[in-house]
Amino acid sequence: MDEIIERFVRLDSHLTPGKALIVYGPRRVGKTTLLRSYLDSCGLRYRLETGDDIRLRHLLGSGDLKQIVSMAEGFDLVAIDEAQQVPDIGMGLKILVDHVPNLRVIATGSSSFDLAGAVGEPLTGRKKTIILFPVSQMELRRRFNSYDLRRRLDDYLIFGSYPEVVLREAKKEKIELLEELAGSYLLKDVLALERIRSSRTLLDLLKLIAFQVGNQVSLNELATQVKLDVKTVGRYLDILEKAFVIIRVGGFSRNMRNEVTSKAKYYFLDNGVRNAVIGQYNQLDS
């Protein structure tokens, strides 16, 4: 079995018959590993499906109550990995939750704009949500003692804390994983959405954000530099946030009107991804 990092999230404490458990977060953050680890030890009769399966997409997207209910017959739990790939997944999950008594349902997905948007209205009052982030220092504390954590702090600040990256010891392997992650996985969700066709423009925008981490960001300045209108830049940043690439921190003011109109700051969800975007992994003392 591949080496894994134990997470604090316990799926069993969130599972309730009659409600779907939605687990989403960045790609490669460990959602599938968490799900399979739980299924291996849960003791329930379960059915595990994946959104990559064309037959499953057709079934759950069809709205056919009889056929959808039949897939859960004989099982205590139905789990669907990469659920955001299933059209109208929310309605399919609603049918399972509403029409199969005592069934537990788990769905995982890699982007909030696909999965959270698709399940929002159909599963109102019928779901619980967990967002899985990169590994926290508290979770790493289970693996390393205090001395080793302090010794590795520079590594976490430079290479971030995606599980696969943390488990690699060699700097070259960490960089290769991060470049693959930033270039192939995280941006895949964004480019597939809302007619965003230019990966170069998106990367240029991310680079500008990467060099302004912790500083107030002017959308007008960004728009000028990437040759887009302000509205489009704002939309791209919103999508990048929903794809778990960046985090927006709004301005603060005792005057609420000023707070709404003030410039925001942007941070990357993971330092390693930020450094992969600009191709710099400098030591902290350099």
* DSSP label of 48: E
CB atoms within 10 A of CB 57: 19
pLDDT of residue 117: 59
Class of domain 139-278: mainly alpha
List CB contacts of 227: < 8 A, sequence separation 6 or more: 201
Which stretches of 141-281 are DSSP H helices? Answer: 146-151, 153-159, 163-166, 171-180, 187-191, 199-210, 219-226, 230-242, 256-261, 271-278
Domain ranges of the chain: 11-131, 139-278
Tell me: pLDDT of 94 over 60. Answer: yes
Mean local confidence (pLDDT), 141-151: 89
Contact 132, 22 (CB under 8 A): no
**CA 207 from chain center: how many Å?**
20
Q: Yes or no: is domain 11-131 CATH 3.40.50.1370? A: no
Dist. CA 207–CA 226, nearest whole Å: 10
Which is more confidently placed, 8 or 59? 59
Contact 139, 7 (CB under 8 A): yes
Tell me: pLDDT of 172 over 70. Answer: yes
Mean local confidence (pLDDT), 177-197: 74
Dist. CA 110–CA 185, nearest whole Å: 10
Which pTM value belongs to this model?
0.85
Mean pLDDT across the chain: 87
Dist. CA 235–CA 17, nearest whole Å: 37
Q: What digits encode the pLDDT tens for the residues 225-280?
A: 999 999 999 988 988 888 889 999 987 666 665 555 568 899 999 999 999 999 99
Side chain identity, residue 115? L
Q: What digits encode the pLDDT tens for the residues 25-58?
A: 888 899 999 999 999 999 999 999 999 999 999 9
List CB contacts of 157: < 8 A, sequence separation 6 or more: 271, 284
Mean local confidence (pLDDT), 72-80: 96
